[in-house]
Structure 1
């Protein structure tokens, strides 16, 4: 199940899109404008954003361009829908890393686009983790593969709990613990090739060590990125087991 935010100004289209996604088992929130989407995104980040490309009061293109410029939402998967996009508009959406579907859409195509968009960040991390494993050792050696599989599996099993410890330290306003815990998890992530996760953790570590209070909201992008990384390292671990 994915969490999906639908942004569509037409009432009929919005309800149709939301109902098809809900029927497929996804958790859906739906709004009618880009400003309403911005409000929702400040509260909860979805796994995927499905947006009309052009709407009164603010375009989907403008919304996503702003999202790409913010660290927290830079990697948010987006599917654009439009019945009147020009080739240049489609190219602009693709340049922002978005999938494009023309209206009227087939339900199967919509569901496939949402699923593929959600998987895209994980595939990028998978490639980075594979490259890191190949850099660290000989993947043709069975013993090396067993070692890397164990390390990757251990990270996927333990990292969510480790981030939970960071969150608990944030709630206690224990800056020293936040700094130490974020440092430790960042080191593990960096060693496995999960560089974006490591960078987000380093930022939290630096804030805690520099005396800036770390807020619970600062951990939102970490939770999203960690979920992506855990899926990726689990997939690579599975590949090493099958090799």
Structure 2
């Protein structure tokens, strides 16, 4: 999110060249519309723009369960120390303009990886509760379970979305229940909580709008990166 056309195009082009899928907008209202349609892995935003500040937008995002954990990188060439502190208090990183391209790419990569590291730590703790991570056979079992979850969960979530489009509450409830149980057993508690909420609503006949499943897809992406990292660690161990 950047109101200056030249800066916006430069930033978008550098991120695209690095392999990122970019959706560039020039104002906070446009960003709100884009975020309603699809949640990104990382939001890169100028702090101050006509029509609404990045700080205000992110404060609103942090107040919603669906978007509270969205990684954010703030950019600004005129932020005061108090502004930077406010951004950091919202859990965002900050780059002062002008900045090297490498600094931007590093900040975006770090922001994207941060949620997965938190989940990975929870997954490791859960596996340690379940078995002996020093035992080779246990590590093989856990690696197989993690890999299976990472491979199969997107299909399960796709089936859940299809059931929601059909307004099949019973199928939504069953799919959400199974996927939530797997996520909880592996230590992915936030994903499990989101799925439990869908399960509870479907159990009462309230089928979610398919668009409302966006936070689930975002969180599943975080979890898959986390369990993939832990599975690789178990193989190396």
Work out which of the residue numbers 71, 86, 95 in structure 2 matches 1:92.
86
Q: Does 1:118 align with 2:96?
A: no
Q: Secondary structure at the match of 1:29?
A: coil
TM-score, reference length from structure 2: 0.97
Please name the residue that 1:66 is paired with. 60
Please name the residue that 1:40 is paired with. 34
CA distance in structure 2 between the partners assigned to 1:22 and 1:38 by the alignment: 22
Please name the residue that 2:153 is paired with. 159
Give the total of aligned pairs. 237
CA distance in structure 2 between the partners assigned to 1:230 and 1:140 by the alignment: 23
Q: Secondary structure at the match of 2:29?
A: helix
CA distance in structure 2 between the partners assigned to 1:150 and 1:92 by the alignment: 43
CA distance in structure 2 between the partners assigned to 1:60 and 1:39 by the alignment: 14
Cα shift at 1:153: 1.0
Q: Secondary structure at the match of 1:54?
A: coil
TM-score, reference length from structure 1: 0.94
Q: Secondary structure at the match of 2:197?
A: helix
Please name the residue that 1:226 is paired with. 220
Stretches of structure 1 that go unaligned for 5 or more consecutive residues are 1-6
CA distance in structure 2 between the partners assigned to 1:198 and 1:107 by the alignment: 37
Please name the residue that 1:56 is paired with. 50
CA distance in structure 1 between the partners assigned to 2:68 and 2:140 by the alignment: 34
Please name the residue that 2:75 is paired with. 81
Stretches of structure 2 that go unaligned for 5 or more consecutive residues are none
Which runs of structure 1 show a deviation greater than 6 angstroms over 4 or more consecutive aligned residues?
Answer: none
Please name the residue that 2:123 is paired with. 129
Please name the residue that 1:4 is paired with. none
CA distance in structure 1 between the partners assigned to 2:19 and 2:143 by the alignment: 31
